[in-house]
Amino acid sequence: MPDQNQAPHVCFDKILPKDLMRPHRRTRGLDGNDRAISPIGKSWMNGTTLRARFLSGTPAQQATAREQAGWWADVCNIHFDFGNHPVSDADIRISFDPNDGAWSYVGTDNKGIPTNQATMNLGFLDGGTAGHEFGHAIGLAHEHSNPAGGIQWNEPVVIASLAGPPNFWDEATVRHNVFRKYALDQIKGTDFDADSIMLYAFPASWTLNGVATHANDVLSTLDKEFVAGATMYPKAAPVSDGVALPLDGTKVNADIGKGGEEDVFTFEVESDGVYEVRTNGSTDVYLKLFGPDSKTALIAEDDDSGYGVNARIRSSLVPGKYWAQVRHWNVETGTGKYSISVKSR
């Protein structure tokens, strides 16, 4: 249990400005029920290999980062390629500035950061810190932000504690990193996991009911099950890849035959313009668009912007290759037939 007189090292929650005050967008399906659209949606395409580039760090620090990133790769269908990649090609850029704490952007947010900046900092490497930050990098949020956690913060105590060493945070920073919780319709996740590596150790004095959390330096059973499950990166998930879409609006029929299945389609854009990718049918699907020429550059994602429960993405595209990923909204058990098309508008 942490020293009651010394605050623990806590990771800074890196959220893009556009998401800080993002309202819940709700649309209405064919059944008339409201549907919440998750503004998180930060996961990469299943099976992605993320190129990671160290911007600094000793050999020992870099070895620790590689080892703990491997904890995730060992249990789910996400991979890391650590190499001397050009910074412009690196999906994750890692620094080790001891004056900047520990933090990482979440999932596909990493692709929106200027290439001359780090997307992760490992200013301290206590226990499983690198594993925690790579959890963020593959799309996981802090477990203490889980609305199912029910943590009742003793706010004045927490604010005072984190104002001192080793964090030196002002009140606004504490409220952002500790007290802020996601709404249920903003996340896909499990029940609160007290053993998750994404949860920090907090002393009992920080809560109104005197309940403390403990340090978690390795992946929990639920961590492993969740990232390997249908909502994230299942190793055994059936994946259809390489189906080419014409650009004349021709509908290509498809079928999600098993829970967790994801279909991936490709198309080539030869000239600048506005293009619309849309699904048709009665199956409630979720659509992501990646490119150009990169399976890790998320352009947009959508659930119900089309007719009824269909997805639609309209975006200005430049020449290159694009990937459209389709999953059922019910990623655990949803199945059904649908069609997909692309057309220049």
Upper half-sphere CA count for residue 2 (Cβ side, 13 Å):
23
Confidence of residue 4 (pLDDT cuts 50, 70, 90): very low
Q: Which two tokens stand for residue 39?
A: 């503004």
Burial class (CB in 10 A: 0-12, 13-18, 19+), 114: exposed
At residue 35, the pLDDT reads: 25
Residue 10 or residue 235, greater confidence? 235
Per-residue pLDDT, 262 = 82
Domains of the chain: 12-227 (3.40.390.10), 239-344 (2.60.120.380)
Supply the pLDDT for residue 341: 97
For the cut 50, the answer to whether the pLDDT of residue 249 exceeds it is yes
pLDDT tens digits for range 145-195: 555 556 788 889 888 888 887 778 788 878 767 776 554 444 455 566 778
Predicted confidence (pLDDT) per residue in 284-334, tens digit:
998 989 999 988 888 888 888 889 899 999 999 999 999 999 988 887 788
In this prediction, residue 201 carries a pLDDT of 76
31-35, 280-284, 334-338, range with the lowest pLDDT: 31-35
Identify the band that residue 199 occupies on the pLDDT scale cut at 50, 70 and 90. Answer: confident
pTM of structure:
0.73
Indicate the burial class of 189 (C-beta count within 10 angstroms; 0-12, 13-18, 19 or more).
buried
Q: How sure is the predictor about 77, in pLDDT bands with cuts at 50, 70 and 90?
A: very high
The pLDDT of residue 27 is: 34
Summarised one tens digit per residue, pLDDT across range 47-72 is 889 999 999 999 999 999 999 999 99
Copy the structure tokens of residue 63.
């070895």
Give the pLDDT score at 86.
93
- Mean residue pLDDT across the chain: 81
- In angstroms, the Cα distances linking 131 to 49, 219, 236 are 17, 8, 23
